[in-house]
């Protein structure tokens, strides 16, 4: 009797081994599994899972966010693409037609946006002329109302504040121009090779944190590194504090998001009549396939979701700023401005309803002196990355790089300004915390790019499932 049971147990065990792939030849992974099988479940340092983000973003947030970003207030972004690189002189400018940026003509931009004084979105219309006068004089005019004098001084102080995470772009420069983001979409331009990799290598090697005892390259894809080195690289990250680890994951997530955009809007075919843009599955696999990237690709995608959670959390924190009656999405068209503010608030309240927000309370929560030092290091590293964007040789890549870095920097500023936001007055100018129009446009467009990436991952997952 005992032998019979032993035989049956052994038979069942063999059947289980065969069914699970153990003890026999495993079924080959599909193309979709090689990119996405590890991109599921809970994210590191978070209590949120990938599936919850996919469902929330793709079906509740993405459609409305895209509609908002098509409005005049958010589609026009002022930027200086002619600033010299502050770090090196040997920049090879991309000569491809797709690298070019077409700026707006003066009559194409709504008058309300062009008004140089409309720099601070919470300013009521009746302060515009007074602020214009103050800017022209370069000082606070005693004839201005006391409230406006105080506001101008506070705004100037804010623009020079050490709390900003990005190098301020000189949008008042004669070289700064408005760009219609809808007419200059982020997509594959052909900008690649040593010049493009130099940008990312400098960002990873010189601006991300790593243990002081480690002298080898931080970039897991640096020349000469293999799989064992890649595993060592991630053991370094695990040895860092949560803030320094998060810094790398934010940069890696942004890098991944940009690569998703380039793969999703790839030049598939070009004739003298038209260009055909679409999903390039091969390009996506080269960047994210688990085998082709030696395990790095799926990690990049998980970092993209981490970045999504950080920017989503910032939007949930800044809701009171946009709810104030003095705030306007001012373009000069009162009807559309009111409609777009309503849509903006609908989106923000949807964001607040997200059930598994990132808990930023673990950031800088240790000894106060050490926490302040770490926060300052964090800010300076990120600020330096914003300066590196002026070294990008492709102007369209530079445009979207500057915008997305500024958007992420604005999100970080919001997360570290929780008390200031809570203390804002219910009406009237906000002196302690405010966002410029540049920050608002970059904040929502940057999140729109991350939201688009998450949506495109669903598209690529479906496309890859058809590959055998």
CB 202 within 8 A of CB 214: no
Residue of 99, 104, 166, 397 marked catalytic: 397
Q: What's the distance, Cα to Cα, between the start and end of the chain in Å?
A: 47
Is 397 labeled as catalytic in the residue annotation? Answer: yes
Q: Is 313 a known ligand-binding residue?
A: no
Is 391 labeled as catalytic in the residue annotation? Answer: no
Q: Is 468 a known ligand-binding residue?
A: no
- Please enumerate in sequence order all residues whose Cβ is within 8 A of that of 466, keeping only pairs 6 or more positions apart, or say none: none
Q: Is 189 a known ligand-binding residue?
A: yes
Crossing angle of helices 62-69/437-464, nearest 10°? 130
Q: Are strands 266-270 and 76-79 parallel, antiparallel or unpaired?
A: unpaired
Residue 6 CA to residue 3 CA, distance in Å, equals: 5
Q: Is 52 a known ligand-binding residue?
A: no
Crossing angle of helices 437-464/296-317, nearest 10°? 140
What count of other Cβ atoms lies within 10 Å of the Cβ of residue 64? 14
Residue 217 CA to residue 232 CA, distance in Å, equals: 11
Q: Is 121 a known ligand-binding residue?
A: no
Q: Which long-range contacts (CB under 8 A, 24 or more apart) does 387-391 make?
A: 387/86, 387/87, 387/167, 388/87, 388/199, 388/202, 388/203, 388/207, 390/83, 390/84, 390/85, 390/86, 391/85, 391/86, 391/87, 391/88, 391/91, 391/199, 391/202
6 burial level (CB within 10 Å; 0-12, 13-18, 19+): exposed
Q: What are phi and psi of 437, to 5 degrees?
A: -60, -40
Q: Is 252 a known ligand-binding residue?
A: yes
Residues that constitute the known binding site: 187, 189, 200, 252, 255, 287
Which residues does the annotation mark as catalytic? 394, 397
Residues that constitute the known binding site for FAD: 187, 189, 200, 252, 255, 287
């Amino acid at each position: 009797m005992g032998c019979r049971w032993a035989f049956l147990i052994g038979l069942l065990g063999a059947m289980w081994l065969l069914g699970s792939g153990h003890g026999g030849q495993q079924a080959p992974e599909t193309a979709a599994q090689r990119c996405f099988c590890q991109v599921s479940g809970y994210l590191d340092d978070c209590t949120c899972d990938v599936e919850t983000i996919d469902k929330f973003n793709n079906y509740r947030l993405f459609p409305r966010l895209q509609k908002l970003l098509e409005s005049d207030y958010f589609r026009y972004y002022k930027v200086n693409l002619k600033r010299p690189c502050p770090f090196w002189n040997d920049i090879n400018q991309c000569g491809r037609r797709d690298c070019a940026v077409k700026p707006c003509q003066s009559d194409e931009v709504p008058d309300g946006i062009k008004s140089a004084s409309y720099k601070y979105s919470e300013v009521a219309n009746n302060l515009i002329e007074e602020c214009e006068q103050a800017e022209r004089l370069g000082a606070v005019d005693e004839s201005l109302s006391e409230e406006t004098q105080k506001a101008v001084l506070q705004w100037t102080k804010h623009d020079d504040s050490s709390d900003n995470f990005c190098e301020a772009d000189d949008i008042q420069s004669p070289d700064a121009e408005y760009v219609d983001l809808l007419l200059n979409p982020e997509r594959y331009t052909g900008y690649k090779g040593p010049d493009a990799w130099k940008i990312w290598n400098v960002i990873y090697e010189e601006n991300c944190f790593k243990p002081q005892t480690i002298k080898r390259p931080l970039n897991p894809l640096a020349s000469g590194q293999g799989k064992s080195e890649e595993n060592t690289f991630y053991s370094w990250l695990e040895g860092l504090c949560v803030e320094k680890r998060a810094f790398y994951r934010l940069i890696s997530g942004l890098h991944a998001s940009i690569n998703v955009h380039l793969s999703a809007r790839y030049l598939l075919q070009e004739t003298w009549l038209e260009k055909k843009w679409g999903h390039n599955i091969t390009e996506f696999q080269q960047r994210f396939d688990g085998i082709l990237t030696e395990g790095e690709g799926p990690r990049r995608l998980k970092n993209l979701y981490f970045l999504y959670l950080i920017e989503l959390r910032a939007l949930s924190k800044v809701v009171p700023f946009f709810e104030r009656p003095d705030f306007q999405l001012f373009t000069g068209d009162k009807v559309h401005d009111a409609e777009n503010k309503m849509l903006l608030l609908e989106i923000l309240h949807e964001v607040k309803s997200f059930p598994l927000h990132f808990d930023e309370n673990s950031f800088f929560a240790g000894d106060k002196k050490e926490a302040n030092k770490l926060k300052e290091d964090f800010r300076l590293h990120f600020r330096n990355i914003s300066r590196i964007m002026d070294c990008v040789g492709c102007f369209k890549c530079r445009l979207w790089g500057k915008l997305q870095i500024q958007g992420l920097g604005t999100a970080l500023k919001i997360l570290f300004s929780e008390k200031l936001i809570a203390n804002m007055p219910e009406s009237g100018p906000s002196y302690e915390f405010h966002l410029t129009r540049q920050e608002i446009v970059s904040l929502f467009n940057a999140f729109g790019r991350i939201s688009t990436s998450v949506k495109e991952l669903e598209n690529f997952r479906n496309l890859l499932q058809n590959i055998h």
